[in-house]
Chains A and B, each alone.
Chain A
């Protein structure tokens, strides 16, 4: 370990593995370390034994759930937009060759006690009970506006400057009802709460376009998902990094992040007696004092909030959903008197994450009270009989500085959103902090021989 590297990456979560891969492809000499003896950290998908070890160390998994290795249970439920930043990364780095993707079979939204399918075609929209006839007409006008809107062409703006006008005013202009607003803002633009209505409308419009494009890509839902769980993603990007010369060390404890006592700049990391030096370090918050600040240590990350998640094991599909093998249900906050939406992600054997006949539902939301588990009830109540349930509350950490001053670049925790676009945003942000330049994705040819 006595060589010097361009970069040390700490933690093999998805964000870190993507960055490691991109840096290696860029010709940097990367050392990638994880304290665990497995890849993925928080982004790892667990088999039953690992799930029990984490949640119930004293119990053994039941034997009637099938083979251990049939399971790949995500700790952080997220899907991939069929057409978005994550798919761009996958395609441009060519890691698609290591992975196989399935379509998520349905996208649903909760409204007045019932679960409704988010229409994916005009025919479905026409039949959808989500809107009355007149409201559909108004909605149609709105969607036509969204579809035609081009920032550089004022003729498409209809007098609204979306870089300034708040989204609330756009809804008012098209006369959309509160329920339709909920639907658009939460089921399509995927906002977790209603703050977006006071912000310039442009971002919301772009999110609606992204949702629609993703929906159009494969049809049934805007999402795709990797076979055998999200934990395959960090592994695939780590392979990319290794193929381009990245060195991997799992099961390696990091005892200290060393900085120059004068300048405060990063020097290297210490593991036991060994020290390894590098120009910079990138790592997840858990390597920089998250949760367990030591005395005299510089505060590098702060907690921004908490997410509560419940992994539920079912032996049936979710009632009222046409028995699909995978889906998302969004419960907009207004519908259940909350400030943040509740999400349900369902996966099953078809995605290689559970034994045949077993369904895995993960219910999650941003914590608002002192009894987080109770906040999940509106979601849990939609699932039917729950065989078993594993609840966790995770703090969300964010770095206190950009890292430019001390060459210590820290990534963010995985948030409550239902997709990986915020991970991509974090990757782009860290890349810019590290290199000073925007991330440009140019497709590199990996050696392929026939």
Chain B
């Protein structure tokens, strides 16, 4: 049987840089010109198949707007295998914000996390404030992947997820790989329990007593 890997991927970046739009393009190949700030989209998944038959399933977390007032919970990126830090090429301040997320990840996340710096809205090159050279140089210095994308035209979107999918199986430690039976905890000590099994909690009647 071919290998199946699952990874948690988080998106970070200033509000309105196009995080949700990138996910929408990648998962559904759609774009929405008047997209509202993210509400309700908690969790999306998408699978990338590699040439060797391995399939890489992304469990994609969007910020749900919690970053707006510097209020993103650390839980959000704690066990992430990869992060895409997004900036808007027409807003130089958004690159500074992306850089500050990268520093936060370097401090708090697992050292093996794969980080991609992503300049979105490449279709608006006429209004460009962030040069390719500047962003690329920063990415190289910090050892990050880098790309420019347009969620609107689709340019570069599949490409960056593809590059991450190829890199992850080589670098992610076993516990970051949420494969079918992989234990996620440090060193995998002790099995995790699944609360959703057995038809939900409290389903056991009094006859469940085995004292």
User: What total of chain A residues lie within 8 Å of the partner, measured CB to CB?
Assistant: 65
Is A425 an interface residue when CB atoms closer than 8 A count as contact?
no
CA distance A213 to B207 in the complex (A): 8
Which A residue's beta carbon lies closest to that of B59? A97
In the bound complex, do residue B208 and residue A212 qualify as a contact, i.e. CB atoms below 8 Å apart? yes
Cross-chain contact of B189 among A120, A243, A244, A325 (Cβ < 8 A): A325
Is B128 an interface residue when CB atoms closer than 8 A count as contact?
no
In the bound complex, do residue B211 and residue A122 qualify as a contact, i.e. CB atoms below 8 Å apart? yes
Is B42 an interface residue when CB atoms closer than 8 A count as contact?
yes
B interface, size bucket: 35 or more
Give per-residue flags for B175-211: 1 if the beta carbon is below 8 A from chain A beta carbons, else 0. Answer: 0000000001111011111011010111010111111
CA distance A376 to B183 in the complex (A): 36
In the bound complex, do residue B211 and residue A125 qualify as a contact, i.e. CB atoms below 8 Å apart? yes
CA distance A120 to B211 in the complex (A): 5
Is B167 an interface residue when CB atoms closer than 8 A count as contact?
no
CA distance A105 to B193 in the complex (A): 12
- Residues from chain A with Cβ under 8 Å of B187 in the complex: 349, 356
In the bound complex, do residue B209 and residue A213 qualify as a contact, i.e. CB atoms below 8 Å apart? yes
Which B residue's beta carbon lies closest to that of A97? B43
Is A103 an interface residue when CB atoms closer than 8 A count as contact?
yes
Report the tally of A-B residue pairs with Cβ distances under 8 A. Answer: 166
Which of the segments A164-172, A273-281, A441-449 contacts the partner chain?
A: A441-449
Cross-chain contact of B202 among A38, A69, A84 (Cβ < 8 A): A84
Cross-chain contact of B45 among A105, A215, A248, A449 (Cβ < 8 A): A449
With a 10 A CB-CB cut-off, give which of A70, A235, A242, A248 has the most chain B CB atoms: A242
Which of the segments B73-81, B82-90, B130-138, B156-164 contacts the partner chain?
A: B73-81
In the bound complex, do residue A216 and residue B64 qualify as a contact, i.e. CB atoms below 8 Å apart? no
Known A209-B206, A215-B210; contact A69-B192, beta-carbon cutoff 8 A: no
Which of the segments A85-93, A259-267, A335-343 contacts the partner chain?
A: A85-93
Q: Could you name 6 residue pairs across A and B whose Cβ atoms are closer than 8 Å?
A: A122-B211, A242-B65, A245-B39, A350-B186, A356-B187, A447-B40
By a beta-carbon cutoff of 8 Å, the part of chain A in contact with chain B is 37-39, 69-70, 82-84, 87-88, 90-92, 96-98, 100-103, 105, 119-122, 125, 143, 147-148, 209, 212-213, 215-218, 224, 227-228, 232, 235-236, 238-239, 242-245, 247-252, 325, 349-352, 356, 446-450
Given A224-B193, A235-B73, A250-B70: 18 more A-B contacts, CB < 8 Å: A87-B201, A88-B200, A97-B42, A100-B184, A102-B185, A143-B211, A213-B206, A213-B209, A238-B66, A238-B73, A239-B64, A242-B65, A248-B69, A249-B69, A325-B189, A350-B186, A352-B185, A449-B28
